[in-house]
A = this chain, B = another copy of it.
Amino acid sequence: MRIAPADSNKTDTAQRILAVAERLFGERGFNGVSTRDIAMAAGVSKANVFHHYSSKLVLYEAVLRSGSARFNALLLRLADDSGELPELLDDFSQQHLQSMLEHQNAAALFVRHLLDVGGSAEHVMAENIVEQSHDLLMAAFAALQREGKLAAQVDTRVLALTLIGGHLSFFLLRNVLVRAGQPVPDAGAFSRTMVRQLIDGIARSPSSSDQKKLDQ
């Protein structure tokens, strides 16, 4: 508590354990990582892990919480955005995808949770966080629609799922795509192209939305 390190009041060691746990849990899932693995990777004894976190599950929940805190901060920044549709959507898409890739272990963790069927406490927690961000995105789209920036007949819920779904598949498949040989778009180019195609549609040549720097 000397310097109050911005994002937490945890000890250095406790934070290091948390960071290592986030990486390992993200890479291999809860059951794929032992407390011995975490202790060894963090350079401490296994007993010390239990000194800072009373159980493996508690540590796991702490990882989940810290990841969700980061993500919520991102979403709140997006809420009070303004501008025209292409730039707005571009900005959000860009930041969302970049954030997924930057914190890939946390992202993987949440996806893993959505796959699990059980109604466990952590599962519900992960669903709550996802639902919360979904609501935020939906609200933003609804506002766009009210202002006439988004066509009235657009189903905003479907749009939201399509947009974050695109990010999801890019995130999950980027390694596969790399192996496939063809040149792989970086995240920025992918996000930009996807948003452009979403706005203009894929059936005809573009006309309604601006075209300026998109032909790069």
Are A151 and B115 in contact (CB-based, < 8 A)?
Answer: no
Tell me the bound Cα distance from A32 to B172 in angstroms: 21
Looking at A11-19, A37-45, A67-75, A193-201, the stretch in contact with chain B turns out to be A193-201
Are B158 and A197 in contact (CB-based, < 8 A)?
Answer: yes
Q: In chain A between 134 and 148, which residues have their CB closer than 8 angstroms to a CB of chain B?
A: 134-135
Are B154 and A116 in contact (CB-based, < 8 A)?
Answer: no
Q: Give chain B residues whose Cβ lies under 8 Å from the Cβ of A27.
A: 116-118
Q: How large is the interface on A (under 10, 10 to 19, 20 to 34, 35 or more residues)?
A: 35 or more
Which listed residue, B127, B162, B176, B177, touches A165 by the CB 8 Å rule?
B162
Q: Is A87 an interface residue when CB atoms closer than 8 A count as contact?
A: no
Q: Give chain B residues whose Cβ lies under 8 Å from the Cβ of A167.
A: 165
Per-residue contact bits, chain A 104-134, to B (CB 8 Å; 1 contact, 0 not): 0000100110111110000000010011001
Q: Give chain B residues whose Cβ lies under 8 Å from the Cβ of A165.
A: 162, 164-170
Are B127 and A175 in contact (CB-based, < 8 A)?
Answer: yes
Are A200 and B201 in contact (CB-based, < 8 A)?
Answer: yes
Q: In chain A between 82 and 113, which residues have their CB closer than 8 angstroms to a CB of chain B?
A: 85-86, 108, 111-112
7 nearest interchain CB pairs? Answer: A201-B201, A165-B169, A165-B165, A31-B31, A204-B208, A165-B166, A162-B166
